[in-house]
């Protein structure tokens, strides 16, 4: 890149440094792959961030130092969202095949009316 700092001065060549180029490229790739998220890379913190774009009462933001870790956090957040949206299952009582215990065993009576 060339530029001029003052009128009348020759053009000077300025080196343009791309900070954390591979990390920024990875953030762009993740942003395209994960359609429900906006993925960013922070140069200041050297960390990946993802902001969920779905409707939620609270803003959902996850962060990690690596792109692999960020993807895990995104999956965890999506699973938590699904679990919150799914109504709990009803547990129905099923009759057991075994007879219920009805207390102490009854004594048998002899034909004469006395307990045996």
Please check the confidence at residue 5 and state whether its pLDDT lies above 90: no
> Phi and psi for 115 in degrees, rounded to 5?
-75, 140
* Total Cβ atoms within 10 A of residue 89: 6
Nearest C-alpha neighbor of 48 from the set 30, 68, 70, 28? 70
- What's the confidence (pLDDT) of residue 114? 61
- Whole-model pTM: value is 0.60
Angle at 69 between CA 65 and CA 72, to 5 degrees: 150
CA dihedral 95, 98, 104, 108 (to 10 degrees): 120
Q: pLDDT tens-digit profile of 38-55?
A: 999 999 999 999 999 988
């Amino acid at each position: 890149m060339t530029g001029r700092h003052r009128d009348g001065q020759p053009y000077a060549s300025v080196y343009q440094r791309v900070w954390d180029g591979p990390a920024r490229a990875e953030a762009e790739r993740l942003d395209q792959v994960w359609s429900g998220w906006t993925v960013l890379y922070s140069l200041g913190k050297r960390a990946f961030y993802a902001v969920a774009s779905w409707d939620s009462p609270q803003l959902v933001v996850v962060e990690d130092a690596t792109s692999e870790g960020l993807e895990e956090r995104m999956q965890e957040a999506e699973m938590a969202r699904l679990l919150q949206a799914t109504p709990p299952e009803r547990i129905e009582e099923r009759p057991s095949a075994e007879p219920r215990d009805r207390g102490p065993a009854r004594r048998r009576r002899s034909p004469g009316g006395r307990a045996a």
